[in-house]
């Protein structure tokens, strides 16, 4: 009896220690992200930092009616609709060949993964040189595709190669052809990763800012490249914290919604 109690005590202590391990990260996140974010929500509900009158949702209504916010929102969504399918399909094709193709072809993988880590601040310059005469949105899209295909290739290749080869053997013995093999085995096994990769690319599309910023080298790019991040960045520079706070909260809600919808869809697909 006594021994058991002691053991329980020790286990409790172990659990406390494990919880303590979380603390450095929790405290840092609290100090630099959570607590300040509460302040941002507060800022989005007052008229300005000096008078501090509570104005309800006025800042949000202003933001949602702002021409530039709507333009930025449209451009950000357009980037998703056009580029995400391209990235995912390209990555699928590349990783299919990398997983099942000829051996020397596999060595080219590094070329697709490199843009993932290469510091884009150094690369945006050459974009400037090459596309100097181009006034369309194409360079921005290319930059996005170039940078984000790599991570999808890594994840998809891992998914393809983790399909158990003995499954193929068994099915082949049962007389299945190559097409049926892939349709019945590879596709269902890889589908969740395809889904995850699409979600990841959508999220990453909100993260491409400094590349576009360095490419244009100005706070006011052509209309077609003016994204949500520009809107927020410029409000930051103008010290218009109320508009920035409102648009930051709106953007977080948008991303939160996308991630949650994605996860819910995935759960449904699995059932």
Partner 1 sequence: MKKLIGIIFALLSAVFLLPVAATVFRSFYSEGGFTLGGYKDLFFDCFVFYPMFWNSVLYALAITLAQIPVVILCAFGFTWAKFRGKGLIFVFYIILMMMPLQVTILPNYIGLRDMGLINTPWGIILPMIFSPFGVVVMHQYMKNTDASVIEAARLETDSVFRVILVGVVPQLRVCIFAVALFVFAECWNMVEQPMLFLSDGRLKTMSVFISEAGSYTGAVLFPAAVVFLIPVLLLYLFFSDSLEKGLALGELS
Does 239 help bind partner 1 (rule: CB under 8 A)? no
Q: Which residues contact 239 (CB under 8 A, 6 or more apart)?
A: none
Nearer to partner 1, 28 or 170 (CB): 28
User: Of 9-48, which residues contact partner 1 (CB under 8 A)?
Assistant: 14-15, 17-22, 24-26, 28-29, 31-33, 35-37, 39-40
Indicate which single residue of 125, 170, 187, 265 sits in contact with partner 1 (rule: CB under 8 A): 125
Q: Which long-range contacts (CB under 8 A, 24 or more apart) does 101-110 make?
A: 109/153, 109/157
190 CB neighbour count, 10 Å cutoff: 21
- In angstroms, what is the minimal distance from the CB of 183 to partner 1? 20
Return the C-alpha torsion angle 258, 262, 265, 271, nearest 10: -150
Does 117 help bind partner 1 (rule: CB under 8 A)? yes
- In angstroms, what is the minimal distance from the CB of 8 to partner 1? 13
Does 163 help bind partner 1 (rule: CB under 8 A)? no
Does 264 help bind partner 1 (rule: CB under 8 A)? no
Q: Rounded to whole angstroms, how far apart are CA atoms 206 and 203?
A: 6
For partner 1, which stretch binds (CB under 8 A), given 50-58, 80-88, 133-141, 201-209? 201-209
For partner 1, which stretch binds (CB under 8 A), given 57-65, 97-105, 168-176, 178-186? 97-105
For partner 1, which stretch binds (CB under 8 A), given 61-69, 169-177, 181-189, 227-235? 227-235
- In angstroms, what is the minimal distance from the CB of 50 to partner 1? 15
Does 159 help bind partner 1 (rule: CB under 8 A)? yes
Does 269 help bind partner 1 (rule: CB under 8 A)? no
Nearer to partner 1, 137 or 150 (CB): 150
Which two structure tokens, joined as six digits, stand for 186?
Answer: 């590879």
End-to-end, the C-alpha distance of the chain in Å comes to 46
- In angstroms, what is the minimal distance from the CB of 46 to partner 1? 14
DSSP state of 30: I
Q: Which residues contact 163 (CB under 8 A, 6 or more apart)?
A: 185, 186, 189, 190
For partner 1, which stretch binds (CB under 8 A), given 54-62, 63-71, 101-109, 180-188? 101-109
CA distances from 269 to 185, 188, 247 (A): 16, 10, 33
Indicate which single residue of 252, 261, 264, 265 sits in contact with partner 1 (rule: CB under 8 A): 252
DSSP alpha helices (H): ranges in 34-66?
35-43, 58-65
**19 burial via Cβ count (<10 Å: 0-12, 13-18, 19+):** exposed
For partner 1, which stretch binds (CB under 8 A), given 54-62, 121-129, 131-139, 166-174? 121-129
- In angstroms, what is the minimal distance from the CB of 117 to partner 1? 4
Strand partners, 46: 54
Q: Rounded to whole angstroms, how far apart are CA atoms 79 and 156?
A: 22
User: Of 46-85, which residues contact partner 1 (CB under 8 A)?
Assistant: none
Nearer to partner 1, 27 or 81 (CB): 27
């Amino acid at each position: 009896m006594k021994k058991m109690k002691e053991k329980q005590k020790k286990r409790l202590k172990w659990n406390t220690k494990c919880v303590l391990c979380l603390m450095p990260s929790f405290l840092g996140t609290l100090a630099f992200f959570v607590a300040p974010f509460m302040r941002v929500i507060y800022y989005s509900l007052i008229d300005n930092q000096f008078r501090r009158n509570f104005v309800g949702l006025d800042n949000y209504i202003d933001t949602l009616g702002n021409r530039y916010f709507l333009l930025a929102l449209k451009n950000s969504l357009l980037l998703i609709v056009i580029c995400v399918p391209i990235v995912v399909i390209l990555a699928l094709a590349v990783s299919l060949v990398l997983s099942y193709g000829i051996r020397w072809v596999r060595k080219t993988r590094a070329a697709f993964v490199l843009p993932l880590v290469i510091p884009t601040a150094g690369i945006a310059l050459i974009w400037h040189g090459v596309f100097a005469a181009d006034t369309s949105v194409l360079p921005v899209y290319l930059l996005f595709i170039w940078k984000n295909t790599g991570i999808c290739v890594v994840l998809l290749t891992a998914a393809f190669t983790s399909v158990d080869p003995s499954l193929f053997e068994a099915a082949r013995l049962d007389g299945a052809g190559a097409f049926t093999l892939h349709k019945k085995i590879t596709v269902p096994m890889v589908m969740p990763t395809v889904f995850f990769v699409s979600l990841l690319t959508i999220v990453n599309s909100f993260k491409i800012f400094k590349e576009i910023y360095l490419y244009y080298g100005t706070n006011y790019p052509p209309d077609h490249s003016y994204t949500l991040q520009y809107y927020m960045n410029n409000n930051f520079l103008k010290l218009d914290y109320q508009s920035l706070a409102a648009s930051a909260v709106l953007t977080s809600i948008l991303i939160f919604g996308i991630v949650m919808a994605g996860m819910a869809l995935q759960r449904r697909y699995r059932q």
